[in-house]
Structure 1
Amino acid sequence: MVMSCEIDKVKGYVEREVPKLMKNFKVPGFSISIVDKNGILYREGFGYRDLEKVLPATPNTLYGLGSTTKSFVALSIMQLVEAGKISLDDPVSNYVPLKIGFKDKPILIRHLLSHSSGIPDLGTSTIILQSGMGFHMGIPMASVNDFYRFVNGAQNEIVDEPGKRYFYLNAGYRMLGHIIQNVSGVPFHVYVTESILKPLKMFRSTFVKSVFERDPDRITPYRVDESGRFIPTPYPYPNVEENFEFSFISAPGGLISSVTELSNYLMANLNWGVFEDKRIIGKESLEEMFKIHIEFPRRLYGRHGYGYGWSIIEGFFGTKLVSHGGSILVSTSHLSLLPEYGFGIAMASNSAGFPYDEFAQTLYAIILGRDPEDVPYVKVRKKMNLLCGHYSTYMGVDNAEVVSRGGMLYLIQKGVFGSITMPLIPEDDLMESNRFYVYSNGVRMPVEFVIYSDGRVDMYIERDRFHKVI
């Protein structure tokens, strides 16, 4: 049983660590809500929803969620399944003009839900979001016909038959949105609003850009340029009310909401489909959504894979962790649940970069009475921070630097004639062996670190012994 003292520890950890993370990862504004089955336990905003106007981020600030929208799409599909209007085993082509795939093994609705269609990422969201920010790629993507011309031209891109391999596919969730639209008879965003948002009292949550822009407590989205400056950016999704037919353009990531309203959504999931005595989905459907249907090649806790609209870790400190992140490049979010223990966390920020998975897992570790240092992400980041720095050989004859960029370590060897930068590839996922390797002219070269009890660090590369000096 989780005691209130663990929740107090979580609150203290959030208050201490969020400002540090915002500084390190260049995040102007951040909001968080932590819930159990019965209500909100903690909610807070940090930093700026608008830097220029010096307006604070609050728990009620509206953010562009990105791919956390996908669980709303999956939930909508499961509602239609429960209503007997579709089956998960129906071919997608029964409802939308998808023309690619294997004739004898068609792509089914369940394959799109679990990203197991065999189609690799086609970049539809990259095209749409960059266009919305003014970076047009020249690829038509303004209508239903544009979308299917693009997708149906990708027959030769298919890698495997359905159900065999995981490929995250935003175009697949657009097709699911189109199925919802065609089967329900109303635009995709209208269906989700009427069937999920309104029953959950998420009255400010919306897919409509003009509604977002009229709300007084909304973010200004930001991108960070190469010099580290925050650049105000338009909300990149188009206004779905101006193009009802292509409403499903927003299905993979177009929902706008606050962590306060997302708390209602998390509570409905924790209560197996019931919110304030009103059922929006059956327990069996949620259990199916929370089940691994295709496994990921990567794993830190045991079985890890994709359900329907959610990522699933089955062995997170002995329980199941259900989560999903989202990004529209200039606004991001993260939703997560511990169904067995009845806790959930909603987070959002108005830029990219916040380490949501690591932070959520750390908070859940505290809730479960574990040491945050037990979280693999924390172990790896701590080791990376320890190894980063300037290194010199005897008397400073040769110099090198180990730096962290984009979640990887790099070795920079410096000399009077220039420098060489090489990625440091760990021999093991958690870097516990302190052994890495680099490639030099196609030859694999070992790099070993020795960490002494007094805090000193040495690095061995071929014939050289480097000492960390800073």
Structure 2
Amino acid sequence: MRNNKLKFWLTSFFLILLISANFAQQKNLYSEKIKTFEKFVEQQMEIDKIPGLSIGFYKDDFFWAKGFGYADLENKTPVKENSAYRLASNTKSMVAVAILQLMEKGKVDLDAEVQRYVPYFPRKKWPVTVRPLLGHLGGISHYKNYDVEGKIREYKDTRESLEIFADWELIAEPWTKYQYSSYAYNLLGAVVEGAAKQPFGDYLKENLWDPLEMKNTYMDDPHKLLPNRVRGYRLIDGEIKNSEYIDISSRFAAGGTRSTIVDLLKYAKGLSTEKVLSKESIDLMYRSMVLKDGYFTDYGMGWVVPPVNGRFHVYHTGGQPETRTLLVRFPNENFALALAYNLEGANLHVYSHRLLQLIFDEPWNMNVYTGNKIDDALIYGMWSVFNYGLGYFDRYEQALTVDEKELAGAIDYFNLCMNRDSLKSDHNKFVKKIKSGRHPAANQAFVKIGSYMAKQLQENNGANSLKKYTKVGAIGFFDDYLKMYKKAPGHSVKFQFSESFEKIVKKWNQDWTLVFNDYTRELALTPFSNVTTIAKKLKKLFAGADVYPNFAEDFSRITRNFYLQGDKKKTFETAKLALKLYPNSTLANVMLANSYIRFGEKDKALQFYKKAIRINPDDRYVSVSNLNYYALNMKRAGLLDEALEMLKIIVELYPDEALPYNSIAEIYLQRGKTYFKKALKVDPTFEAARKRLKKIRE
């Protein structure tokens, strides 16, 4: 008996030593990376004018969280890791968990009409069921007039919250159109209440927050004293101002919670167990929904679910007055990241992408520059096979199919559209086929191919062999597979790519191996980087290569920062360096055009906008919505004249698009408000100005 006790204590002692040693090893592994990241955060917050930010992550057993800046600028209250932010739309995944819990308990049928649980909600032209609402496919509209619906100042209960949109017609038949909708999630919150027979917040507390020890998560209430609540801010004409007061009870299930990043990480960790939801339900929640026409939406139930670099990955963002939030999970890596800050509208992803780059030793994006739209289409197709195929294998540890007939059909589809001759003969037709390749509309041909390639590579090269591809990307993935199957005795010609495509892959991989090295893989471009020195080094490295890493997005972000700050010299230095590296990049041309707009050279701006459209009129960077976004960025920074000039050019380029006209009207309306207010300041009894201002607000 005594010996048994001794053995027990010795075993326990050595186990503790082992765990401690492992933790210390992880701490040492991440300490330098965290120091690098902390410096980046401090610099980037200054650029973004963010008052306060909290961020944290866990990887396996290692946990880190920290606050930066101020929770309250006026009182200089520092942000902490347990500062409490409005979660906004990061509430939606919690709604999905609640619905799926109730499904497991037999209290909710996902395919039942919502009136079973919310009898007072009016019936519509088409039945509205629970399942499509979870994926924003239920036909329920989003906000119609945010200036009214998004600025409600009084408390609303569940029924009053639903009355805002209850009488609206559906915008489409369910399952036919993806329309992100906060109102759909409010309706789901009412479903939770109807099925559980208790208030929404009480249900979440008892069934999600308490089981996962999320002790600092609540329904937000402006009248209650909530510990560590941060104040929210916004930028008006480039200056930090207090956020407008609103009561968010009217968006209770769509975005009505308040929490900390520590609690968000507890939530993410809890979803790796079966403490609050079964493995099967979690898999369902993370599965992309499919439109009636056979296209994935990349949105599951409360989560955005596209893979990244061939890794299984889910996330959601949140944004509303006072706040921006982000929660990211890589379930198979035992990794999650949570981020929140108290400024409306700033870019979340610049912080998360940098942290992920440091932790995983790989870039967030492995974008490839080819210089022509034919090869851009081929690269996109290869990336689609790699990302969605390897992502499927990473998630399910098996190929989508091993059926010879299905694989042969998938290869035939691939070879038909993935060749230069086809793309030259009818570019739009075959680009559409390439973009459809991963979707059920094309029988998921590209996912079948990519997951089968992953299976074969793993069987041939060992269990951990696939990890390298998250660091080398699609070109290396294809090249290794081609080399493998050419060596394989008796490999069926049914599963071979075309000879012309194989030659392209071989040449591109020779270039990619040289240009995508440790330097370019670890490169992090920021406004504090010496872009001139970096660009010279990249120019030399890329010389003679048919393909090389595309950092146009990074140069674009830096250029935009400089022109919003009014630094003309650095703006044009950065924009022109990007164009030298990527002369046929639509983005590089657009950013130079934006720079000319910023500094009053409209004719030159128009020249480069037109050039970008000629390069590829279907590229997202020359879309009306993207150009309009850049104009609104200028407006947000207080550059109203410049924003107006850009919008007028957009109208000239796209006269039949409504969006830029609306944005122009918004600027004139903003100016009108300003001058009516000035009139009232001069003469508070001036009724004409008061009436006009009241009418605008209505």
TM-score, with structure 1 as normaliser = 0.73
CA deviation after TM superposition for structure 1 residue 144, in Å: 4.7
> Paired residue for 2:46?
23
Tell whether 2:66 aligns with 1:44: yes
Higher mean C-alpha deviation, range 286-295 or range 351-360: 351-360
Q: 2:666: which partner in 1? A: none
Q: 1:288 to 1:320 in 2, by over 3 A?
A: same
**Greater helix content:** 2
Determine if contact 1:414/1:420 at 8 Å carries over to the other structure: no
Q: Which one-letter code corresponds to 1:122 in the other structure?
A: Y
More deviation in 12-21 or 55-64? 12-21
CA gap of 1:123–1:68, structure 2 versus 1, over 3 A, is farther
Match of 1:257 among 256, 259, 279: 259
Hey, what does 1:312 align to over in structure 2?
305
User: Match for 1:225: what amino acid?
Assistant: I
Candidates 101, 111, 114, aligned match of 1:79: 101
- Structure 1's 148 and 443: CA in aligned 2 closer, same or farther, altered over 3 A? closer
Q: Percent identity?
A: 23
Counterpart residue number, 1:461:
none
Amino acid at match of 2:236: D
Question: Post-superposition shift, 1:361?
Answer: 3.2
Distance 2:304 2:318 in 1: 12
The 1:124/1:193 distance shift into structure 2, 3 A limit, reads farther
Does the CA contact (< 8 Å) of 1:320 and 1:339 recur in 2?
Answer: yes
CA–CA separation in structure 2 for the residues paired with 1:7 and 1:164? 46
Q: Which residue of 2 aligns with 1:113?
A: 134
Letter in 2 for 1:220: R
Match for residue 33 of structure 1 among 49, 56, 62: 56
Structure 1 residue matching 2:71: 3-state secondary structure: strand
Q: Does the 8 Å contact 1:321/1:336 carry over to 2?
A: yes
Q: Measure, in 1, the Cα distance between the counterparts of 2:310 and 2:339.
A: 24
- Alpha-carbon distance in structure 2 between the residues aligned to 1:115 and 1:249: 16
Tell me which structure has the larger Cα radius of gyration. 2
In structure 2, the partner of 1:99 is: 122
CA-CA distance at 1:281 after TM superposition: 0.9
Tell me, what secondary structure is at the counterpart of 1:324? strand
C-alpha change, 1:374 and 1:218, in structure 2 (3 Å) is same
Q: CA deviation at 1:120?
A: 3.2
Residue 69 of structure 1 aligns to a residue whose secondary structure is: helix
Aligned partners of 1:71, 1:144: CA distance in 2, in Å? 19
Whole-angstrom CA distance in 2 between matches of 1:69 and 1:182: 19
Q: 1:216-231 alignment to 2 at 5 Å? A: 217-231=228-242
Quick one: which of 63, 87, 109 aligns to 2:85?
63
Q: Is the CA contact (8 Å cut-off) linking 1:124 and 1:170 kept in structure 2?
A: no
Contact 1:331 1:351 in 2 (8 A): yes
CA RMSD of aligned residues (A): 3.8
Aligned letter for 1:288? L
1:114-143: per-residue Cα shift (whole Å, max 9, x none)?
A: 0011233134876454123x9xxxxxx945
Of residues 176, 190, 196, the one that matches 2:202 is 190
What is the CA–CA distance in structure 2 between the aligned matches of 1:441 and 1:50, rounded to whole Å? 42
The match for 2:348 among 353, 356, 371 is: 356
Superposed displacement of residue 250, structure 1 = 0.9
Aligned twin of 2:180: 168
1:326-357 deviation digits (Å, cap 9, x = unpaired): 11221121101001111000111111133223
Given the superposition, is the C-alpha separation of residues 125 and 190 from structure 1 closer, same or farther in structure 2, using an over 3 Å criterion? farther
Aligned residue for 1:320, secondary structure, equals coil
Q: Distance in 2 between matches of 1:443 and 1:84?
A: 55
Greater RCO between the two (CA within 8 Å, min separation 6)?
1
Is the CA contact 1:46–1:57 (under 8 Å) kept in the aligned structure 2?
yes
2:161·2:186 contact (CA, 8 Å) conserved in 1? no
- The residue that corresponds to 2:424 in the other structure is none
**Residue 58 and residue 11 in structure 1: after superposition, are their counterparts in 2 closer, same or farther (change >3 A)?**
same
Does the CA contact (< 8 Å) of 2:91 and 2:256 recur in 1? yes
The alpha-carbon distance between structure 1 residues 201 and 405, as it changes in their structure 2 partners (threshold 3 A), is farther
Taking the aligned partners of 1:345 and 1:63, their CA distance within structure 2 comes to 16
1:170 Cα offset (Å) = 0.5
Any idea what the Cα deviations from partners look like across 1:389-408, whole Å, max 9, x if unmatched? 659xxxxxxxxxx99999x9
Alignment match, 1:54: 76
Return the alpha-carbon distance in structure 2 between the equivalents of residues 344 and 145 of structure 1: 35
Query: Is 372-381 or 345-354 further displaced after alignment?
Result: 372-381
Deviation of 1:387 after TM superposition, in Å, equals 5.5
Question: Using a 3 Å threshold, how does the CA distance of structure 1 residues 340 and 145 change in structure 2: closer, same or farther?
Answer: closer
2-side partners of 1:358 and 1:237: how far apart?
27
Shift of 1:290: 0.9
- Greater share of residues in strand: 1
What's the CA shift for 1:89? 0.9
CA distance in 2, matches of 1:265, 1:441: 46
CA distance in 2, matches of 1:363, 1:251: 30
Deviations 1:80-123 (A, max 9, x none): 000011111111222223325334xx121111100011233134
Matched, 1:151 2:172: no
Q: Judge which range, 113-122 or 259-268, deviates more.
A: 113-122
Find the counterpart in structure 2 of residue 122 from structure 1.
143
How many residue pairs align between the two structures? 393
5+ long unaligned stretches in structure 2: 1-24, 369-523, 526-550, 570-586, 628-645, 656-698
Q: For residues 201 and 232 of structure 1, do their structure 2 counterparts lie closer, same or farther at Cα, with a shift above 3 Å needed?
A: same
Structure 2 match to 1:383: 555
Distance 1:211 1:264 in 2: 27
Corresponding residue SS for 1:88: coil
Corresponding residue for 2:286? Answer: 290
